[in-house]
Amino acid sequence: MKNFLAIATLALCANAASAQDAGDISAGVGFSSLGGNLEAAYRIDPSFGVRGVFIGGIDESYEETDDEGTFAGSIELGGLAIMGDYYPNQGDWRISGGLLFSNNEIKASGEVELEDGGTPEAELSVKFENEIAPMITTGYEWGFADGWTLTPEAGLILTGGLALDYTATASGAQDAIDDDPDVQDAKSDAEDIVVLPYLAFTVSYQF
């Protein structure tokens, strides 16, 4: 038992030392559920670190035609996350918390099919209710070469709900859209999505 404890202690110390000796500053690139990732990190000490992560950069236009008509719009995903990292065993596993300054928005324009049979033209937008959204994640920094790490990360974004807005393009149609039961249900369902999953894979180099 004494030998086992001695080996375990040495292993933990070596793990912490290797993480610290690898360097305090790192830069990384990868991809996530919101698009690409660019990050810079600073390991304050073996237990704590901070990161700035640029997420997304996706800004795409689209046009879709189906039986209900033609819909055109844009998808913009991204934001800037400021994260604090805690390493419980002073090694490679981390628990992180921070804030996402969100730039996520989906826009579309087309006909809204109302329950009374009307089809007024409208513009639709969907975005986070929390423009500054809390994030909680966990990840493991796996070293695969001298100075290089691959980090899978998973967590949650607390959106506060999704704000779904319909704006009529013709005068006199807004009240009909706002009073439509299907529109009201859609807005209610969007408001209930208060949490979204977040996944990321990042390759970093420690200086």
- The CATH code of the domain that includes 82 is 2.40.160.170
Give the pLDDT score at 111: 83
Most confident of 55-69, 81-95, 105-119: 81-95
Helix (H) or strand (E) holding 81: strand 69-86
Q: Which residue has the higher pLDDT, 175 or 60?
A: 175
* Mean pLDDT lowest among 11-25, 31-45, 98-112, 188-202: 11-25
| The two structure tokens encoding residue 128 | 């986070």
Give the pLDDT score at 66: 55
Give the pLDDT score at 65: 65
Most confident of 40-49, 64-73, 115-124: 40-49
Across all residues in the chain, what is the average pLDDT? 85
**Structural domain range at position 36:** 2-206
- pLDDT classification of 201: cutoffs 50, 70, 90: very high
What total number of domains does the chain contain?
A: 1
